Structure 1
């Protein structure tokens, strides 16, 4: 099993990507996943390379700017964003680009998404790991499908996928069952947690009810060799010391549970 334990730069927001690299290096993470977003550093290949070199830490993945609040980062044309994400990945030595499925209103993009992702992988030699999302719901009522071709990547023919445990929690979807459906197509993991609410909570793993420990144990037993990236929400931390404790707790959780039991 060769997977790294990485830290998403999103985990330190509202601090910058530079702070994420510093936390990762200080706490003993193996790598960083760069969320391309409104932080100007996250959009610059040269800055990311300098941060990786300065802290002697790998960049394991680039998260394409496909969130609602990053719709205008790197322009508004979605395929152009993915091409630029692949270029950044190649330049910094990352093998994976994490991408969300299109929103419902992006009909032209969505119509060719599955085939387009396959074509991008072939032309760039970068894995585009499509992430599980969730129905949007304001309460316990039935959710609205806001993604095309759908929120569950196991229902499509993607060669590479990402499972995010917070998203699985919102969808009330069993992540172990999803991993079993995906098999070797599971390339990347976002380690976090959720309580089953309609909010995308991104809790410290172990503080929710999605079964992050059992999921990691299953991934280890199944021979998962991709990277496990901590993607938590630390915006409510009162200071940097509390944020650091949450990041350390998440790393310790990953190290404990992403391990093959001794026979």
Structure 2
């Protein structure tokens, strides 16, 4: 089995990168996802210093782009598209500045289209994103996150197909979302192993699995909210067993609502 890193879904201190890294290390983490879901709060000098410290202390960084930074719009024009493109551009800039492994973003929506047409739009618009990033020397890998609503775009199969066609995009498996859309099927190692096998087939050699994990509440095969670990039915132990079957390293980001839960997940995965 490759190395398993576990990290927080948010920077724990926004005042100074030195303090942020200090807290992450105190909590036993060796990874962290920079939290821009609600918007950008970090400038480039902050990111550069964070990257220096992360390399010094062997912390793997990733970036989560703002939620409005999605692709697959009905047309690649207008204010929403411009805002999305700008968000992904800046996320990539921060990632390049701090040496992050991947920029996580959400797929778009079906918007009344067939799944095939929606995927075509995502792939076409990702090509526009890539063109812009290459022109700025910030063409970092992107990671498309599996979503938690069963009737919309963003299943594991969708994300694997988009990654296969785009080439520079990787699936980001959110096991809480998949537990929800499967009506609670992820209780034994086999479903985890099957999901990882699909992703393993499209990842570049040496690239880590990038995984999101937390306990989850759901209804009608749709996520409702992340839960403290132990209040739902998703557990990290079967994931650890599944990861044992792969040589590929993994970075697991806890999206739990409290630190106790994140520590329980870390203990289950790395001891």
Q: Partners of 1:129 and 1:106 in 2: how far apart? A: 25
- Report the TM-score, using the length of structure 2 for normalisation: 0.68
- Deviation digits for residues 34-82 of structure 1, max 9, x if unmatched? 02144653x42323444555686535200111269xxxxx995222221
Q: How many aligned residue pairs are there?
A: 228
Corresponding position: 1:228 with 2:252: yes
State the TM-score, normalized to the length of structure 1: 0.69
Which of 216, 234, 243 is 1:194 aligned to?
216
Structure 1: segments with no counterpart, 5+ residues: 69-73, 136-142, 235-242, 257-263
- CA RMSD across the alignment: 3.6
Alignment of 1:1-263 (within 5 A): 1-9=2-10, 21-38=21-38, 41=41, 43-51=42-50, 57=57, 58-66=59-67, 77-105=83-111, 111-117=120-126, 120=130, 123=134, 124-135=138-149, 144-145=151-152, 147=153, 150-152=154-156, 153-154=158-159, 156-158=161-163, 159=167, 160-172=170-182, 174-185=191-202, 187-197=209-219, 198-205=222-229, 207-234=231-258, 243=259, 245-256=260-271
Decide whether the 8 Å contact of 1:191 with 1:230 is kept in 2: yes
Change (3 A) 1:110 1:46: farther
Summarize deviations over 1:179-238 as a string: whole Å, max 9, x none.
Answer: 22222436311122225444343335555323432123212321231311112123xxxx
Any idea what SS the aligned residue of 1:162 has?
A: strand
- Change over 3 Å in CA distance of 1:131–1:247 after alignment to 2: same
